[in-house]
Amino acid sequence: MKSLKVNIVTPEKIAWEAEAVSVTLPGSDGYLGVWANHAPLVTGLVPGVITIKLNEGGQSKLMACSGGFVEISANAVNIMSDTCEDAGEIDAGRAKAALERAKERLSISDAETDKARATLAKERAEARLEVLDLMER
């Protein structure tokens, strides 16, 4: 089966780059599956789980993405995200605490609470915890 090149970059680092069979991304209109010879596309990403199928044997890599953009062309998937972490980089306790803080901020109804920022923090924490949950299965 034909492969594609996957590049994931954040402002701080190259989070991951390698060949893969397919990639599933949290697109702004829902999850998007990408295989070799996919039509060219640029779209937004929302916080969620990126699943990279590494080979036909089913070996996969899971990463928590905070949102960003993806550009697909010429059998390459280029992901640009504010943050992107694999399971080994995620601290479960810290992610749970971040989720609780975000939920608490969202429960407050005052003009000073930045609801958009709290929602993004909640979604990012949920994505991180989902990666850990999927790794345990």
- CATH number of the domain that residue 132 is part of: 1.20.5.440
Kindly give the confidence (pLDDT) of every residue in the chain, 137 residues in length, as a single tens digit, with 9 standing for 90 and above: 799 999 999 999 999 999 999 999 999 999 999 999 999 999 999 999 999 999 888 899 999 999 999 999 999 999 999 999 999 999 999 999 999 999 999 998 887 778 899 999 999 999 999 999 998 88
> Which pLDDT score, from 0 to 100, does residue 112 have?
76
Position 57 scores a pLDDT of: 84
Same domain flag for 74 and 105: no
78 plus 102 within the same structural domain: no
Q: Are residues 17 and 31 in the same domain?
A: yes
Q: What is the CATH number of the domain that holds 27?
A: 2.60.15.10
28, 45 Cβ separation under 8 angstroms: yes
pLDDT of 113 = 76
How many other β-carbons are positioned within 10 Å of the β-carbon of residue 76?
A: 13
Residue 110: predicted pLDDT: 80
* Residue 60 burial (C-beta neighbours within 10 Å; 0-12, 13-18, 19+): middle
The range of the structural domain enclosing residue 92 comes to: 88-136
What is the rounded distance in angstroms from the CA atom of residue 137 to the CA atom of residue 11? 31
Which of 102, 96, 131 lies closest to 118 in space, CA to CA?
A: 102
**Given this model, what pLDDT does residue 109 score?**
81
